[in-house]
Chain A
Amino acid sequence: MSATRSVPVVQAVTPPATTNRLFVAGAAASHAAHLRSYGPLATETITNTLLVALEASGLTGRGGAGFATWRKLAAADEARADRVLRSSPIVIANGAEGEPRSTKDATLLQNSPHLVIDGLLATASAIKASQVYLYTVAENFRAVQHALNERPDARHIVLVEAAESFISGEASAVVNAIENGIALPTDRIRRLSDSGLKKRPTIVQNVETLAHIALIARYGARWFRSIGSDRDPGTRLVTVSGDVQHEGVTEVAGDTPLRDILATRGVDRSNVLAVLVGGYHGTWVAADNLGVELSAAALAPLGGHPGAGVLYVLSKQRCGLQATADIVQYLANESARQCGPCMFGLPAMAGVLTRIASGHRDPNLRRELRELSDTVAGRGSCHHPDGTARLALSALSVFADDANHHLSGRCTRQSR
């Protein structure tokens, strides 16, 4: 291959030394600015030794599930090698970001699109993928298209528009959207990494995860682990929203306590009632637990998970039960209505929560919500019912005192 391409001459760069890793090239970074900040990356020369570096790095998916990144890629790589006909894999960058309280993926795609593209190309090269897609909402198209046009090595990346729905970014829905134009989850007996788009091994990877891959490919696993903790190495993007002075995205070291993250956004902790951690499929963390770190291991005892790095702050002037009722109503409306337990169960849950929040004096309501939560869990083609059940149950536990007041007809907070 002797393609004659003018390769821009780039000075060697120092790897980022602070927690600002993903936005070093500044706002709406051009390809030139990106190269000046991060140095070049010959993505086409990358082999599956990248998987070794990814395993050593401890990088986990930043889209919500928190799965070990190397493991996912290894599964697709093995599926490729196992096939009699050597069916080459497909890699999809997932920037759908259906989570209403998350803006990190949009922020990343609009400001550091080249890191995402680098990570996508590096991943594709590592597992010998033959097709590469970038799936995101229309809002990010201009920035992404502009970035793709700046690079001769990205011409083959197919940009696909994601629907503006909560579940359009669920992995099987992503594949369904690209293949059939229907952004709804599908039933799966085989994993996507084994048989996904066009029945080929398919990797659906969150755009932030890909951006971290671009940096690990450049600077290595040891550099990645130089920030964060052993159990949660590297940095992650967090979106802080709700009753805060400055809503927005922050890049933090792994294992940063929630209160420190809130401090970066000017949150008055004395006025915080609770924080919803992990998005609308997440869990409430009460004000007296804000010392907990934002990591899978630290949140597990509270039944929580970092999810896509979403922190939604509720002030003491708000009612946690009403806020949860509103969210569950939204989640019920966002059901794909394909699976019975979700289609019927989620609206029923929203109804019970609304009755509790509005002060119905029925002592059975709590038990009813627990029963419904138990009934829907694990009974859908995606985890939408499970995530909704987790949220509802966490509200009952964190706002237990409020529930007692409500069920005796007295809400001690304004609900709106």
Chain B
Amino acid sequence: MAARTLGSTGTRPPAARLHIDWTRCDGRGLCTELLPRELTRDRWGYPLATKSASRSDVGIGESSLDAANDAVALCPKLALTLIPTGKTG
């Protein structure tokens, strides 16, 4: 199966989920800059999922995996975890 990019109406399951630990998140907004298609900012600056059904475990498509990994590494509050979904390998 060749990996296809996840369109906004794509029905493919996301490659991973970006888990937001709200108890750590301080609304710095770095993740929203790295993942503009998946996250926007609410009125207080906290990340708000734009199309994911879950707002605390945000679906990440194949094409955004690198950006999501960067977001995890660069979050100054260590509030993000990337959880692979489904079958691995």
Contact = CB atoms under 8 A, between A and B. Distances in A.
A186 B24 CA distance: 10
A216 to B, nearest CB: 34
A187 interface: yes
Interface of A: 185-187, 189, 338-342, 344-345, 375, 377-381
A187 B19 CA distance: 10
Given A187-B23, A339-B25, A378 B42 contact: no
Interface stretch (B6-14, B43-51, B68-76): B43-51
B54 to A, nearest CB: 7
B43 A378 contact: no
Interface residues of B, number: 20
Given A375-B43, A379-B48, A340 B22 contact: yes
Given A187-B21, A379-B48, 5 more contacts: A189-B81, A340-B22, A340-B46, A341-B22, A380-B22
Contacts of A380: 22, 56
B25 A340 contact: yes
B23 to A, nearest CB: 4
A381 B21 contact: yes
B44 A341 contact: yes
A187 B57 CA distance: 12
Contacts of B56: 378-380
Contacts, number: 46
B26 interface: yes
A187 B42 contact: no
- The prevalent SS among residues of B at the interface is loop
B21 A340 contact: no
B83 interface: yes
Contacts of A185: 23
Interface in B73-89: 81, 83
Contacts of B23: 185-187, 338-339, 381
Contacts of B22: 187, 338-342, 379-381
A379 B46 CA distance: 10
Contacts of B48: 375, 379
A66 B45 CA distance: 34
- The prevalent SS among residues of A at the interface is loop
Contacts of B25: 339-340
Contacts of B26: 340
Nearest to A340: B46
Interface string B28-47: 00000000000000111110
Contacts of A339: 22-23, 25
Contact of A189 (B19, B24, B44, B46): B19
B44 A340 contact: yes
Nearest to A371: B43
Nearest to B45: A340
Given A186-B23, A380-B22, A381-B22, A344 B44 contact: yes
Nearest to A187: B21
Given A379-B22, A381-B21, A189 B54 contact: no
A41 to B, nearest CB: 41
A379 B19 contact: no
B72 to A, nearest CB: 13
Contacts of A341: 22, 42, 44, 46
Contact of B24 (A187, A342, A344, A377): A187
Contacts of B81: 189
Nearest to B27: A340
Contacts of A375: 42-43, 48
Best-surrounded residue of A344, A378, A379 (most CB of chain B within 10 A): A379
A185 B25 CA distance: 15
Nearest to A377: B55
A341 B27 CA distance: 10
A338 B25 CA distance: 9
Contacts of B44: 340-341, 344-345
Best-surrounded residue of A340, A344, A381 (most CB of chain B within 10 A): A340
Nearest to B57: A189
Best-surrounded residue of B22, B45, B46 (most CB of chain A within 10 A): B22
A366 B81 CA distance: 36
B32 to A, nearest CB: 13
Given A189-B81, A189-B83, A379 B21 contact: no
